[in-house]
Structure 1
């Protein structure tokens, strides 16, 4: 049943539910719980999803006492061991609960008294089953009896309303009779007589309605036994079918095993090996262990379903849109190796089998506070951290992990409409955060000049290259080229602060996605990541902020909002909403979902602002307030992105995804500066953390000494230049004010050139080419010795 509309609560026979804060203990204080009031019982759960399987506690209101503490607090106790100290979000909400609880208590007490008088136990437990009748059948009988009792309760409520109508109707008739006794003449007297007649007809009609309800209840009670027999017959038939299917499944399994055994023996006799049967067995195991996440309904955005007239009026456009989106999906599934169209020679090379496991994470204890207490206010990249806080991949590999859902860009590259393409790009920008929900470990800070390649040209059609181009501030340049019609590039600088209770990580820099089809160029930035409970409690991660995905070719824009988590919010956690508009500000698509699970999008058919009924373009005046008040009528939402399931036992492998498990896998032919060659990271992955810590300190000290030498060389060059111009230099080169302009980090990237971005105007590093050619020839002369 639907939830009650304030301020009148739902009657006790119906369901009243909502979030209420419940006192747990002095450490955790009040915690938000989901309470359900139904059939005189008040139950609570941790989340709404628990309603189907785990109830945390129940109080029978028939014998409970309800007390009010203050404006928002109230207490429910059964006089024994159960006492709930509750707190509503506001005084109005508390009053609604108190009203609903009092009504439910009165009704439960009345029904219990009636059931005691009639010898029938009115409770939620099933009545004793008759001899020879199953417990399930008894439960079904109890269900029917409960339905009949509910109907009787409703009829009783109608009877009460009828008595009130009769009472007020009689008073109305007396008042009318008094008016009639005044002997009014003319039109006034006629009006009084008309009102008297209508009041009488109303009373007769209400009595007839009550009598009809009583007849309906009597008829339901008369046919209840027949309903119970029909339900029992259906249940028995279903049980017989289930038993038959179970026997067939067992026989089929036995035949399949016998067939595999014969095939294996025959294969052994023929000296062919057992590869075929082995694969078959593994496939069966995978099928048995296959797991699917439960789909949750995403909360409604500021949208309403469009009127049927819009479906009809735009049926051609909508059908074309849906068919195009469907064709995208099919074409991507039918052409998994489209990347090889330009490279026929690669067809002769089998796809490399990637690893699916890494060594389990060891359980090392560490005094966190002894390390962190002196680091408050410092930048996270400058804090010397042991590997205990890390995960065995570098920041360059973590950046490459943004390509987990590269299929979204593949689909976007095939879109005929720039607005549809923008939806896929927006979903791709959100999907990069899904891998962080359980990943509380810190990636290794890359060394200056460190690189990382991710060559998935044969499997997925793209090649990715990252290079650490700056150390202070730490900055990484990333370039991805795909044979499926898109290019991705970014330069990310991470600014982070430790605030005692949490760490804020602010990625700075712009991400670019360029598509060959339509020559569309998109840019966006990343939101802030916050790691909570650094000192005490369980670590958890949240994303918050806003993103504007802009198409610089057409002027289209998608505004995404990542809602920060709040204990007092009734919205789903990790919620993301978005709106796709064209260059004129007219809305075309609405996106809704969560950054850790899935995203949906729906096409806007009409929009109206405020209480006006006319349609208008969203964001017409550019004001955020107007956009919030706009109501969008949309077609049915469709899923555009869904998170991939984690590998089995991912919790023992740093919660890595299938892609993340392969990032640090040893690979031949990579550059000597590649993150896979990094010794401390390799030792940590193998579980040798003490050796990894020692190696990490060695690498960091080596990097510091190289940087000091580079600064001395830069200062010497500057001093020599001034001497040639006749300028006497008598002071120490490190204290000379003229040398303050010497850059602290004069490092020049090897595979990226520094320039001004033609789109944003920001100073960035753009790929200069040559890496993949150097890999083909195996010549790495330009790479430094950083490990």
Structure 2
């Protein structure tokens, strides 16, 4: 039996109700209880039926403290014997409770203070609320604010009178001292004090005049402001009523449209469809309507009529007849056709499953970050306390965590089916970031990283840092299973005070050998929240367009930004796979941290124009969703190992035969992994200074070349060139990028690394 959905707060009486898990004891642990927040009091019951007769406990929020433990847990205590340890079902639900509790606490404390100071018998229920308007609590808050402003204006007027009175008395006393005609040092001191008092009197008079002007203006405009505020309140109520009417009209139109479509389909197929199967229930309509109203999606999906499971695609009006048998099998058998044979997996060696636990070092974030606002993160000397013990090149290699998706895509006969796997692969790379708040090491110029999994997984990966300012890394992967992946990523980042925005710039390419399909896409923006205060958390937001440049197929993916007030699932991703003519063939949905599903589109149609934003929304009738990708579980103890995945734990493992510039050989990163952070910080500064010295030497060589050639245009300003990648124009995007020139794996086989620079 599913849990009841927690209702949203209702303005009348500030009531909030819902199920929350409450800690009882060490034997029973957390137990589900029904909590009710009303009029500044938080009460709980075992069941909803108990609300009428048995309350199990109550806390007055006016004197309570509310603290957050982690993503789902929070504690409420009144400083005495009452302490509630609570756990919400998810982070979104916890934040809704915290928001409701904080608002209720602030209001309860304000009411208590007003009652103590003025003796007014004011309560939230003293102002009746008009049904549908929800204006009672807002009106009381406005009246309270006006009373507070009025008292402050009176205080200002009193201070004005006192300053005038005491200033005059001080001036008279100083004049009397001056009349004593004292000589010598005492006379000088008196004259000095008199001069300072005169300056103070001039300043005080200026302030008194400004205060008087302010008081006059405040009194003159007070009534005008109250009238304007009342007009705004009335206009808001009218807008709410209008919005409600539009929502109802939208709901009725949507029901009428679907009912007509289902009725027509049922009429055409009475012989093959049982009675009632084509009808839409009111409950389903309500659920779809509210989702559409709240999140305003670009499209709506509804279950396809059962006729589409039986009828041929050529006989169905509006069905994408270009679908081939491979498209149909994709929905009939969940990924069975592309599963790998266990005999193909040949483990090369047993990889490590643990690294040393992360030390618990304290750090004053503000002392470091307050000087970083608005600067490029790559140009800020950061201690390793902010890092995780892998480099950005290794983080790029983590994109291959779910390389099986590309293996399966390479076997697809249909480009549209292949697009589903490529799109899922583009989403899967973000699943490793959900708990990873540490910053990877900025690679040194010329640093490389290889990931050779040819025996186990059929691919070889190579990354090289090809530029330092701006920092850019080139990545090339070749797989024996028929695909190639390449990318050049430049990371732009800005610290904004409360959050950090990381914008990856560059294009990712996936090329399939058998079909010659060439796909490209870009990464979305990563945001790290609560940089200064609170628990760090990661969000991904933006849009991705996966384009097949060979066939013209396209998949538009949308990463919804996290919202405290959204009822929808957190970290949601949606997308539609379309052919070159714009016909939808598949709908993708899921979350970037958990899983992705796809549904085959059987029919699409335009909805009405009464949507929440006045836009037409496409309605897709789809078959049952099938899972295309699911995140691998984290290894045991991951929370003490930087939340690394099983692949990430093996990335920095020592291996024989790698290049001397490989990230595994980087000493500061190795020291940090071993828990020797102070030594790692010192080593990090040494490496960065060595890199700066090498850069200055190259600039001197470039200057000598310019002098010799007597031409500023012909000679470069920096003579550095990447070792394994060559800068050229991308034939697909037209961008200036670095593409793998070859030779690395041959040099590894020979054990010859003469061309590698000494960077460590």
Task: Verify same fold: TM over 0.5.
Answer: yes
| Pair 1:569-2:566 in alignment | yes
Q: Which residue of 2 aligns with 1:692?
A: 680
Q: Which of 678, 681, 689 is residue 666 of structure 2 equivalent to?
A: 678
1:715 Cα offset (Å): 0.9
Equivalent position SS for 2:731: coil
| Pair 1:371-2:368 in alignment | yes
Q: Which residue of 2 aligns with 1:252?
A: none
**Within-5 A mapping of 1:376-391:** 376-391=373-388
**Within-5 A mapping of 1:56-67:** 58=44, 61-62=51-52
Equivalent position SS for 2:425: helix
Structure 2 unaligned regions, length at least 5: 23-28, 36-42, 59-99, 109-122, 138-294, 315-322
Q: Which residue of 1 aligns with 2:646?
A: 658
Q: Which residue of 1 aligns with 2:244?
A: none
Q: Which residue of 1 aligns with 2:746?
A: 773
Q: Which residue of 2 aligns with 1:591?
A: 588
Equivalent position SS for 2:456: coil
Equivalent position SS for 1:18: coil
Equivalent position SS for 1:514: strand
Change (3 A) 1:632 1:669: same
**Within-5 A mapping of 1:62-77:** 62=52
Distance 1:786 1:429 in 2: 33
1:596 Cα offset (Å): 0.5
Question: What do residues 456-486 of structure 1 show as CA deviations (whole Å, max 9, x unaligned)?
Answer: 0011111000000000000000000011111
| Pair 1:312-2:286 in alignment | no
Change (3 A) 1:665 1:331: farther
Asked if the contact 1:559–1:578 (Cα under 8 Å) also holds between the matched residues in 2, the reply is: yes
Distance 2:368 2:699 in 1: 30
1:335 Cα offset (Å): 2.2
1:58 Cα offset (Å): 2.3
Distance 2:628 2:506 in 1: 26
Residues paired across the two proteins, number: 511
Equivalent position SS for 2:540: strand
Asked if the contact 1:581–1:589 (Cα under 8 Å) also holds between the matched residues in 2, the reply is: yes
Equivalent position SS for 1:400: helix
Q: Which residue of 2 aligns with 1:335?
A: 341
Equivalent position SS for 1:661: helix
Question: What do residues 404-433 of structure 1 show as CA deviations (whole Å, max 9, x unaligned)?
Answer: 011111111111110010011000000000
Asked if the contact 1:506–1:527 (Cα under 8 Å) also holds between the matched residues in 2, the reply is: yes
1:17 Cα offset (Å): 4.4
Which entry has the higher C-alpha Rg, 1 or 2? 1
Distance 1:492 1:526 in 2: 9
| Pair 1:603-2:592 in alignment | no
Q: Which residue of 1 aligns with 2:735?
A: 762
Taking only aligned residues, the RMSD between alpha carbons, in angstroms, comes to 3.7
**Within-5 A mapping of 1:700-779:** 700-722=688-710, 738=712, 743-779=716-752
Distance 1:569 1:689 in 2: 41
Change (3 A) 1:758 1:336: farther
Q: Which residue of 1 aligns with 2:426?
A: 429
Question: What do residues 125-171 of structure 1 show as CA deviations (whole Å, max 9, x unaligned)?
Answer: xxxxxxxxxxxxxxxxxxxxxxxxxxxxxxxxxxxxxxxxxxxxxxx
Change (3 A) 1:533 1:22: farther
Q: Which residue of 2 aligns with 1:542?
A: 539
Asked if the contact 2:602–2:622 (Cα under 8 Å) also holds between the matched residues in 1, the reply is: yes
Question: What do residues 51-76 of structure 1 show as CA deviations (whole Å, max 9, x unaligned)?
Answer: 984655526553799xxxxxx99999
Distance 1:604 1:370 in 2: 54
Q: Of the two structures, which has the highest relative contact order with CA contacts closer than 8 Å and spacing of 6 or more?
A: 2
Distance 1:586 1:530 in 2: 33
Q: Which of 426, 429, 450 is residue 447 of structure 2 equivalent to?
A: 450
Asked if the contact 1:493–1:507 (Cα under 8 Å) also holds between the matched residues in 2, the reply is: yes
Distance 1:440 1:322 in 2: 41
Distance 2:400 2:136 in 1: 49
Change (3 A) 1:625 1:16: closer
Distance 2:598 2:512 in 1: 21
Distance 2:6 2:440 in 1: 43
Distance 1:444 1:472 in 2: 15
Distance 1:361 1:486 in 2: 37
Distance 2:699 2:681 in 1: 27
| Pair 1:633-2:621 in alignment | yes
Asked if the contact 1:493–1:509 (Cα under 8 Å) also holds between the matched residues in 2, the reply is: yes
Distance 1:445 1:510 in 2: 20
Q: Which residue of 2 aligns with 1:235?
A: none
Question: What do residues 354-380 of structure 1 show as CA deviations (whole Å, max 9, x unaligned)?
Answer: 000000000011111111111111100
Q: Which of 350, 358, 361 is residue 361 of structure 1 equivalent to?
A: 358
1:331 Cα offset (Å): 5.6
Asked if the contact 2:499–2:528 (Cα under 8 Å) also holds between the matched residues in 1, the reply is: yes
Q: Which residue of 1 aligns with 2:7?
A: 18
Q: Which residue of 2 aligns with 1:468?
A: 465
Structure 1 unaligned regions, length at least 5: 4-14, 24-29, 37-42, 66-71, 78-83, 99-297, 340-346, 613-623, 726-737
Change (3 A) 1:584 1:22: same
Q: Which residue of 2 aligns with 1:132?
A: none
Asked if the contact 2:334–2:627 (Cα under 8 Å) also holds between the matched residues in 1, the reply is: no
Change (3 A) 1:626 1:510: farther
Asked if the contact 1:597–1:643 (Cα under 8 Å) also holds between the matched residues in 2, the reply is: yes
1:610 Cα offset (Å): 1.6
